[in-house]
Amino acid sequence: MILVSASLVVIALLYLSVGDDVLYSDRVSKEKQYEYKQFLEDMKLKQEETKNAVDTKNLSVNLDESMQMKSEP
């Protein structure tokens, strides 16, 4: 009987500590998933920006390797 009443007291204290926010872990999990998705989108945008920056700064001339050189006599 003492164990049953002690466990009921523990359950009541947990209920009072949690209060109305019984889905606390679910809310935290969804917030972390949203932050992670935002992080992935930001990283993808940064990669695209660096790729575009490299493409626009490329000043090299495309040389045709099949060009034939004339030799002077």
DSSP the chain: -HHHHHHHHHHHHHHHHHTT-TTHHHHHHHHHHHHHHHHHHHHHHHHHHHHHHHHHT-------TT--PPPP-
Task: Provide the domain limits for residue 32.
Answer: 22-49
* Chain segment 23-72, per-residue pLDDT in tens: 888 889 999 999 999 999 999 999 888 877 665 555 555 555 555 656 66
Q: What total number of domains does the chain contain?
A: 1
The pLDDT of residue 36 is: 95
Residue 45, in any domain of the structure: yes
Residue with tokens 């050189």: 69
The model's pTM is: 0.46
Residue 41 lies in a domain: yes
pLDDT attached to residue 54: 60
pLDDT band for position 21 (cuts 50, 70, 90): confident
Residue 29 counted as domain residue: yes
